[in-house]
């Protein structure tokens, strides 16, 4: 009986290492991913290291994405002095994205995803590739929250504010 408990305990420890390793790998994938700015320059998310970063994957044709963007912009303004940033990753054509963010007056940085972005989203835990999809990174770049579907102010605050 004692040997059985020991085996179960060791199995639980191994499983926890596996989950931790997967989370670290996903954080690394996101950290190393390259995106384009609207002007065509290549960027990654490392420039915001030291801040809590809300990474929001979206598209112009996604209704819930459009609905949550003004709230994301307002929260970014509220969190500005607290070392937080909101970054949008658009899965769309540059001209459409530029016109869209101009019409909504979005002030947070928006980068452009490419063909690999869907694979990246899946590695981050969004197995279906649905939009909107949001990942919250702590100041060290570790993923602390994954939120699928339309955000509410309350659930985003709960994911971000403990890390500010």
> Is the confidence at residue 28, as pLDDT, over 80?
no
Compute CA distances 23 → 30, 36, 56, 114, whole Å.
11, 25, 18, 23
Quick one: pLDDT at residue 154? 98
Q: Provide the CA 41 distance to its chain's centre, in angstroms.
A: 20
Quick one: pLDDT at residue 29? 74
Summarize pLDDT for 35-59 with one digit per residue, the tens: 999 999 999 999 999 999 999 999 9
Beta pairing partners, 147: 134
**Domain boundaries, position 149:** 2-163
Count: domains in the chain? 1
Summarize pLDDT for 97-145 with one digit per residue, the tens: 999 999 999 999 999 999 899 999 999 999 999 999 999 999 999 999 9
Quick one: pLDDT at residue 30? 87
Q: Mention every residue, 6+ apart, whose C-beta is less than 8 A from residue 155.
A: 147
pLDDT band per the 50, 70, 90 thresholds, residue 26:
low
pTM above 0.85, yes or no: no
Closest CA to 160 of 91, 96, 97, 75: 75
Q: What is the CATH number of the domain that holds 76?
A: 3.40.30.10
């Amino acid at each position: 009986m004692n040997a059985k408990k020991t085996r179960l305990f060791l199995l639980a420890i191994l499983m926890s290492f596996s989950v931790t390793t997967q989370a670290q790998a996903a954080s690394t994938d996101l950290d190393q991913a390259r995106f384009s700015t609207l002007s065509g320059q290549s960027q990654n998310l490392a420039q915001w290291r030291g801040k809590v970063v809300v990474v929001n994957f979206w598209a112009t044709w996604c209704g819930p994405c459009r609905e949550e963007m003004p709230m994301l912009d307002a929260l970014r303004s509220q969190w500005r002095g607290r070392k937080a940033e909101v970054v949008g990753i658009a899965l769309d054509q540059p001209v459409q994205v530029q016109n869209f963010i101009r019409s909504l007056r979005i002030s947070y940085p928006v980068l452009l995803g490419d063909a690999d972005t869907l694979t990246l989203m899946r590695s981050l835990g969004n197995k279906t590739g649905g939009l909107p999809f949001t990942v919250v990174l702590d100041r060290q770049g570790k993923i602390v929250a994954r939120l699928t579907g339309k955000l509410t102010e309350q659930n985003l605050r709960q994911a971000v504010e403990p890390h500010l």
